[in-house]
Amino acid sequence: MKKIETLKKWLSVAASEVEGNEPRCPSCAETSIDYQYVGNVSSHLGYLDVWCTACNTGVHVSRVVVPEKSGMLPLDTPDEILLERIPDFKNVF
Ligand SMILES: [Zn+2]
């Protein structure tokens, strides 16, 4: 699969997860998707990590607008808290 297609699949999975659905992982087909926005709380600009807790793959998307309804961690969140929340997944993009 081309890399850009892989990214598109993951982005659609992320959007579906944010909407409250249970999308299947593009890599292993499990419904174990999790995500976290990290961004500037006033501008709502930041990045998105979306990953699968079953196969530990995912994507990192920088420069995104964080949707109002999504919880986000502030950009200055200490590393130890980020690492607790976001696993060291294999970035497929
Ligand atoms: Zn998976």
The pLDDT, as a whole number, for residue 1 is 63
The DSSP symbol for 75 reads T
Ligand 1 centroid distance, CA of 43 (Å) = 32
Ligand 1 centroid distance, CA of 5 (Å) = 16
pTM (whole model) above 0.85: yes
Contacts 24+ apart (CB under 8 A), 81-84: 82/38
Residues of the chain with pLDDT under 50: none
The per-residue pLDDT for range 55-79, each reduced to its tens digit, is 999 999 999 999 888 889 999 999 9
Cβ–Cβ < 8 Å for 87, 56? yes
Judged by phi (left if over 0) then psi (alpha if -120 to 50, else beta), residue 53 lies in: alpha
Residue reference for tokens 């997944």 = 89
Domain-by-domain residue ranges, the chain? 3-91
Ligand 1 centroid distance, CA of 42 (Å) = 33
